[in-house]
Every structure is written in structure tokens, then in C-alpha cells.
Amino acid sequence: MRWIWIDRIIELTARRRCVAIKNISLAEDVLHDHFPAGPHQPAQPVMPNTLIIEGMAQTAGLLVGHARQFREKVILAKISRARFLLPAVPGYTLRYTAVLDRIDDAGAATTGTVELIDPARGSTDLLGEIDLMFSHIDRNRKGLSFPDHNFVFTDQFISLLRQSGIALDQGAA
Amino acid sequence: MATTQQEVYGKVRDVLVDALGVDADEVVADAQLVSDLGAESIDFLDIAFRLEKAFGIKIEQGELFPDNVLNDPKYVADGKITDVGLAELRKRLPHANLQQLETSRKVDDFSSVFTVDALVRFVQSKLAIAT
């Protein structure tokens, strides 16, 4: 199964910020199971906010992992804040911007914004704000043990970085 | 100008409201972070990060919440904190009230030492060192 909710990294400044984009496509099955409607919104296929959070977690998680050259197993530990202003509809592009607020041996905190880009008009609107916390789980195991290999940053993520032109050895702390 | 206790308490309250999603009126001096305010382990890291930002201080890992002490067999035996363990906690947590823990010695009671008041004292001690 491919569990990757970003299409391309367009910027990765080590230990500072990571920007990624995702194109929302009607070809994605998940949109055909999710038709929210509201007083001012007719029923339409919409990317679920939970998956938008996952996209931010992947963007910010890569930033956190990159900061220590992917030696740490970086796990999403807490959604500190998530606020959504617009529906994420097909035919548009999401732009995730994650900023590294703090990192230490135990984990990291990030803040982030999600923008909705309309390719037809070239306009960009703020879709949401998502702040996250990550745990370096080998440092917080408390009696638990985890596999030696880094099961978080799979080949899918490493390939994504390479395809985006990101050098893997830029993140030395 | 020195930060007053009331100002420290106000900022600590704001940190806990944001980190734990509690109401401001729940953040009273003797409220325990775990049992009263629902904090979980990752929240302690979140609180430490937010305190750093709010007060411009640096908190080393384990300084505010030394969770590694109770994993050390030197300090814990049969689920109870040893004399050496208690002495270590007194040294590492001068800001906390260990009275309940000193009586019960139960590891399960460890979280009781982390109160709002203890956080305020911790921040005050850090600010005093910084100035």
C-alpha cells in the first residue's frame, strides 16, 4: 500500500522549513467516499481533513527526520492544533509549509500552514493551520523496544526526496 | 524588570490551556497535570517547549520531568522508590512537592508531584538564574 500524501517537496531548508505540494485528484478513491455538505456547501467530493493532517505530518516529519539525517525514528505524537477554513476539492493543489520550532533528543515541535492553490486562477488561499509534535521513539521507549531499521522513513519517502532533488546528507545536526 | 509570581502564573496557565486543551479556570495552583488536567507523556515535552518560548528560557531534556529516574533499578525496587531514588528526585526536582511521594513511595504516585504550582516554581527558579 502506498501511504504517501504529498507529491513533491519543493523546498527543504535544513532544520528550518519544508514545503511540499499535493495535487488533489478525482482519481483518488478516498474522495469518492467523502461527500460532506453544510449550510453553505453542497455535497461534493472533498479530501478529508484527517488526510490533510497526514500530509502535514509527512511534510513536517521529513523536516524533522532530515535534521538528524534520518537516524531517528520520527513518530507523530500529538496534533497540537488543527484549524480548517476551506474544503480541499479536486482540481486544486495543496501547499504544505512546515516550520521547525524546536528539536531535541526527545522530539520536535512544528507549526504549519496549508494553502489551497487554484491552478485556473493562480490564486492561493489559506486552507488551514496545523501544529504538530513528534517523538524520537528510540529516546522515549520507556521499556519498549523497536526494530533497529528505520521503519518510518521507507523507500517511498527516500525516493520522494530524491525525485524532488533533495540531497539526503544536508541535515547534519 | 523582574517577572512577578502572578505574571509567571498567568503565562504558565496560558501554556497549559494551549497544550492540554483545558479551561483556564481548571488551572489552579494545586491541580495535578496528569490526574486533574489529563496530561499524557508527550504533553510534558509540549509543555517544556511552550515554556521555553513563553519565557525565553532553555529547558534541558529531563530537567522539568526527569522520567529516566524511575527506569533505573538503583532508584526503584518492587514498584517502590528507594531512599537513594528519593534523594535523587529531591535533587532533580527542587521545585516539586514530594510529600505524597515520600509517604507512599509508590512509582504510580510519581505523577502527583507535577502540579501547576511546581511548574510556576520551576519557571521562577529558571528566571532567577537567567537574571
CATH number at residue A133: 3.10.129.10
Provide the 3-class DSSP secondary structure of residue A137.
helix
pLDDT at A25: 95
**In 3D, which of A95, A75, A73, A102 has the Cα closest to residue A19?**
A95
Average of per-residue pLDDT across B5-9? 91
Domain assignment present for A1? no
pLDDT, mean of residues A63-78: 92
CB contact under 8 A, B67 and A104: no
Q: Which of B17, B55, B59 is nearest to B38 (CA)?
A: B17
Burial of A18 (0-12, 13-18, 19+ CB in 10 A): buried
Residues B23 and B47 in one domain: yes
Residues A103-111, mean pLDDT to the nearest whole number: 93
Angle at A50 between CA B51 and CA A12, to 5 degrees: 65
Residue B123 CA to residue B12 CA, distance in Å, equals 9
Q: How far is B79 from chain A (nearest CA, A)?
A: 14
* pLDDT beyond 70 at A120: yes
Instruction: Answer whether residue A92 is part of any domain.
Output: yes
Helix axes of B41-55 and B116-130: crossing angle, nearest 10 degrees: 40
pLDDT of residue A172: 45
Q: Which member of A34, A40, A66, A149 is catalytic?
A: A34
Report d(CA B30, CA A34) in Å as an integer.
Answer: 45
A80/B46 Cβ within 8 A:
yes
pLDDT of residue A169: 65
Give a yes or no: residue A172 inside a domain: no
Number of domains in chain B: 2
pLDDT in tens, A38-66: 888 788 899 999 999 999 999 999 999 99
The pLDDT value recorded for residue A142 is: 57
Residue from B15, B40, B46 to probe the interface with A (highest A Cβ count within 10 Å): B46
Residue A57 phi, psi dihedral angles, 5° rounding: -60, -35
Confidence at A95, pLDDT banded by 50, 70, 90: very high
B106 and B93 in a common domain? yes
State whether B82 and B126 are in the same domain: no
A66 is catalytic: no
* pLDDT, greater one: B44 or A19: A19
Alpha carbon distance A131, A121 (integer Å): 29
Contact (Cβ atoms closer than 8 angstroms) between residue A80 and residue A138: no
Q: Confidence class of residue A145 from pLDDT cuts 50, 70 and 90?
A: low
Over chain A, what is the mean pLDDT?
89
Answer whether A142 sits within 8 Å of B46, measured CB to CB.
no
- Same domain for B1 and B56, yes or no, is yes
Per the domain annotation, does A93 fall within a domain?
Answer: yes
Domain range enclosing B119: 1-61+114-131
Residue A90 domain flag = yes
- Residues B91, B125, single domain; the answer is no
Are B42 and A133 in contact (CB < 8 Å)? yes
Q: Which residues of B touch A (CB under 8 A)?
A: 18-19, 41-43, 45-46, 49, 52-53, 61, 67, 71
Provide mean pLDDT across the span A17-34.
92
Residue A164 has pLDDT above 80, yes or no: yes
Place of cell 528510540: A138
ipTM at complex level: 0.76
- Does A101 contact B19 at a Cβ distance shorter than 8 Å? no
User: Does A140 reside within a domain?
Assistant: yes
The per-residue pLDDT for A143 is 55
Do residues A120 and A92 touch, judged by C-beta distance below 8 A? no
R_g of chain B, CA atoms, integer Å? 15
Nearest to B61 among A81, A106, A133 (CB): A106
The residue range of the domain holding A48 is: 8-155
Q: Are residues B56 and B119 in the same domain?
A: yes
Q: How far off is chain A from B42, nearest CA to CA, in Å?
A: 7
For residue A75, tell me if it sits in a domain. yes
